[in-house]
Structure 1
Amino acid sequence: MSETTAAAKKLTRMDLLSMAAGQIIGVGIMTMTGIAIGFTGRSVNLAYIVAGLITILSAIPQIFIGGTANFLGGQYSQIAVLSGQRLAGVYNYINLCMAFSISMYTLSFADYFLSLFPGVNVKLIGFVVLTALFGMHLLGVKQAARLQNVMCLVLALAIAAYIGFGLGSVQPGYFQNPGFTTGGPMGFLLASIYLTFAAGGATYVVNYSSEAKNPTRDIPFAIIVSTVAIVALYAVMSTIAAGVLPVEQVANQPLSVAAAAFMPRSVFTFFVVGGAMFALLTTLNFSIGMITFPAIRACNDGWLPKKLAACNKRFGTPHWILLVFYLVGLVPILVGLDLSTVANSTVILTTCIRGVIAYSAIQLPKKLPELWQKSHFYVSDTKLRVISVFTIVFAVISVVLLIVTTSPAQIVGNVVILAVCTAIALVRNKQVHLEPSYTEK
């Protein structure tokens, strides 16, 4: 393959932006908005803006790292180079557990499909969707990015329909009480922190570093721009959700409750399909690559069998790793297992990774001094520590919030997964030999 052909198959800035946007826009906007309205009423739009600011501030350590060097295994390589081998091993096995979420996105899509077309075989729909998306990734990440672009376009049309029909239906006196800041300052704060889970997700685009044309510039751009743009849209959508009906009717309700009040039936159906269903598909499509590329580096380092990292000569795709993740996602669908608790049991652990990445960023001046000095995002050591410590503190607050609102079974699941992943990493550590996994650009 010539260098020109290889470059043509790399992800452009717009590809990465589409990937990041598709990861942010998930069912979170559909379900979390109503819960946030329950916390703070019609001030939910302001809570979204605060959530966006918190999300971007928390992403800065990731931007510092991603703008300093091209880490070929994404977050796995970042942790390995900056925070050490053992911690990278724990991250690797937690990342593998994320494969369970693949089946849950697929089954959720099938449930939405069933609500529109009763009597359809849910297992068949799940099988077709999962096979099609994995097949696309077998043909190359560029093909998956093109599919993401198309699905994001449908998402944009669904959101435009919601905003276009909804703005004129917002009732007067939106910023007046009763109904505004119903939970007081504490309710507004809780809503803002809670909504960071709907606004976050763009930082995972760093796991596509090895496939990007210009990762040190384009990935930070994709993280910031996608987060700002989507949060702005969310603020407008939440204004509509909280303003077309009395607060008590939309509090703790999905976005579709408000949509049904002002959308014609045909447009409402398109919103459910193009909004909720395609939001699941974009997140699923992104997640396949998100867990695949770190796994390739982990294979090369020895955490996983090296043969799994073998790539298809024609498309350059890791067919064995993709096959493993495909089977992990397919088995629960075919046998009808309910893995929602298992899939959600990594939520707290993945939130903890934000703190680990922030800790890794603090190590930049010591571990990569020359590259850090040349980084476009270079700041003084004091500023680096202050920003990173903020992210660590916010990660702790987010974990506490999750513990308070998460079921005991899921808390136990997080503890068990962490214990098992740590044990395997410690046992496997002696057989691991980290290879250089970053380049300057």
Structure 2
Amino acid sequence: MSNQQNNGEAQVLGFRDCMSFCIGQIIGSGIMVLTGIALAKTGRGVPFGFLVAAAIIMITMVPLAVLGSAMPGTGGNYTYVREMIGRKSGFVYVIMFAVSQCLISTFALGFANYLQAILPWINVKVVALGLLVLCVLFNMVGLKTAAKLQTIMVAVLMAALCVYIIFGLPRVNFSVFTEPGAIMPNGAISFFTASALLYFPMGGAKFVAELGGEIKDPGKTIPRSMFLSTGIVAVFYALMGVVAAGVLPVEEVAGKTLVVSAKEIFPTSVYLFFVIGGALFALATTLNGTLSWITKGLFVASKEGWFPESLADTNKHGVPYKLLLIFFVIGAVPIVTGMDVSFISSLGVGLTVICNVLPVSAAYRLKEKKAEAYENATFKIGNTALRVITVISVILLLVTGWLNLKDLNLVTWISLAVFAVLCVIYANLREKVVIEKAAGKK
């Protein structure tokens, strides 16, 4: 039996719940918001960009799946870094990860932009903020409630994606994919930059490890739901990418949402179903799913003393409401201030990918540091193979992160560097408190 750390949470999530969270987490901004941006970068190469992103995800998820099976617990990624690399590294990971979640604003804004396609009179900022508030309220009443909502929305969402593919494929001009330069019209770097941009939404399943303490039979459920959900969605994404890139000229869809191609292929009634059941539900499920696990790392870190423990206070449903409100603010600021979605996407995805280097790296020392947990894990591979895959994964993550961050301006780079330095300084100053708190519990 694997060593489970759940901080007293009830195990309420089964395999179906985890699959719903994973699929809802993956299908969102990747296909609904970022496809148009990727089309602008690599044209007809978009479906292949999705497949490259999926391949990277599958490789980099192996170390996390092994860790999730061996050491399931609340705030999984943070605890992996803390246990395998060190306390201060765990803190730096969790605080940088929190900043990267400015991405949740893109889910809400994407929802509002799609809704505006059928209701042109709405205010995008007001709708985006309203959705963020609604999802926060759902998550305030407990994880199981959020899971039930997620399961319903995912069922409708998958039906809408099937409709897009079924109606769209017969309209595709497949010959355009064989034209010279069709796949990489702007060169290999631009193609792989598009694939790197698609990495984050394709990798949503790995965050199920954050809920390890609340999952039934987590040693089996975590890796199964990770890989199965990612494989299913990768097929859908590739087929939708074919439709998005093959129905209309690239210049008509580049930088645009899927509404443009949907209007071309659907009769009015089906178009409305796609926008509501597909686009809107995709973004809503991603936002709802994100808010269900996003607090877990900070929750554990607060309990350990990195932040005032009162931040980890929970309401009667066991939800850390103060931390949830902090992430509400992180998501609301870009919406209210009108920050550019492309900038938020590149910054958030880049930071998330770079942050992910730490929990992935943790797998390298799993057998060395937690031999019993490794041996008893339901899902595991040989130690040498695990280390090789971990090294490959770290290289892939660093390259993917760089491709997302390389176009940021100098002011942003300086700001990130200053913030990182301040995090390291704080970690060194605060570590003594954390050590004393840990010693007092033994």
Which of the five TM-score ranges fits, normalised by the shorter chain? 0.7 to 0.9
Letter in 1 for 2:314: C
The structural deviation recorded for 1:215 is 1.5
AA aligned to 2:288 is: N
Give the distance between the partners of 1:232 and 1:292, measured in 2 at CA.
Answer: 30
| Aligned twin of 2:305 | 302
- CA shift, 1:162, in A, is 0.9
Q: Does 1:262 align with 2:265?
A: yes
Q: C-alpha displacement at 1:273, in angstroms?
A: 3.0
CA contact (8 A) 1:22 1:286 kept: yes
Deviation at 1:83, TM superposition (A): 1.1
Query: What secondary structure, in the 3-state scheme, does the structure 2 residue paired with 1:45 have?
Result: helix
Correspondence list, 1:42-441, <5 A: 42-98=44-100, 100-122=102-124, 124-173=126-175, 175-178=177-180, 180-183=182-185, 189-313=192-316, 315-327=317-329, 329=331, 336-339=336-339, 345-433=347-435
Q: Identity percentage over the alignment?
A: 35
- Deviation, structure 1 residue 251: 4.4
**Cα distance change on mapping 1:350 and 1:181 into 2, 3 Å:** closer
Match of residue 14 from structure 1: 16
**Distance (Å, rounded) in 1 between the aligned partners of 2:82 and 2:218:** 18
> How far 1:303 moved relative to its partner?
0.9
Q: Compare 302-311 and 272-281 and name the one that shifted more.
A: 272-281
**CA separation in 2, counterparts of 1:195 and 1:216?**
28
Q: TM-score, normalising length from structure 2? A: 0.86
Alignment deviations for residues 256-302 of structure 1 (CA, whole Å, 9 cap, x no partner): 33222212233323323333322221121122122211122111100
* 1:3 aligned residue: none
179-188 vs 79-88, greater mean Cα deviation: 179-188
**1:45-99, Cα deviation, whole Å (9 max, x unpaired):** 3342232122101111111111112122221111111111000111222233245
Q: Alpha-carbon deviations, 1:369-415, whole Å to 9, x = none?
A: 11112223333332121100001110111122123344445434433
Scaled by the length of structure 1, the TM-score of the pair is: 0.86
**Separation in 2 of the partners of 1:391 and 1:241?**
30
Supply the distance in 2 between the matched residues of 1:286 and 1:245 (Cα, whole angstroms). Answer: 33
Q: Which deviates further from its counterpart, 258-267 or 360-369?
A: 258-267
Contact kept in structure 2, 1:92 and 1:295, CA below 8 Å = yes
* Contact persistence 1:137–1:144 (CA under 8 A): yes
SS at match of 1:71: coil
SS of match in other structure, 1:432: helix
Following the alignment from structure 2 to structure 1, what is the Cα–Cα distance between the partners of residues 46 and 79? 37
5+ residue gaps in structure 2? Answer: 1-7
Q: Sort the Cα spacing of 1:182 and 1:137 in 2 relative to 1 into closer, same or farther, 3 A.
A: closer
1:365 Cα deviation (Å)? Answer: 1.2
Q: Cα RMSD (Å) of the superposition? A: 2.9
What residue is the counterpart of 2:4 in the other structure?
A: none
- Contact kept, 8 Å, 1:345 with 1:413, in 2: the verdict is no
CA distance in 2 between counterparts of 1:355 and 1:277 reads 31
Q: Which amino acid aligns with 1:428?
A: R
Deviation, structure 1 residue 357: 1.8
Distance in 2 of aligned mates of 1:8 and 1:73: 14
**Structure 1 counterpart of 2:80, which letter?**
Q
Report how far residue 252 of structure 1 moved.
4.7
TM-superposed deviation, 1:166 = 0.6
- Whether the 8 Å CA contact 2:109–2:128 is kept in 1: the answer is yes
Which whole-Å CA distance do the structure 1 matches of 2:409 and 2:275 have between them?
A: 28
Residues of 1 paired with 2:209 and 2:143: CA distance? Answer: 14
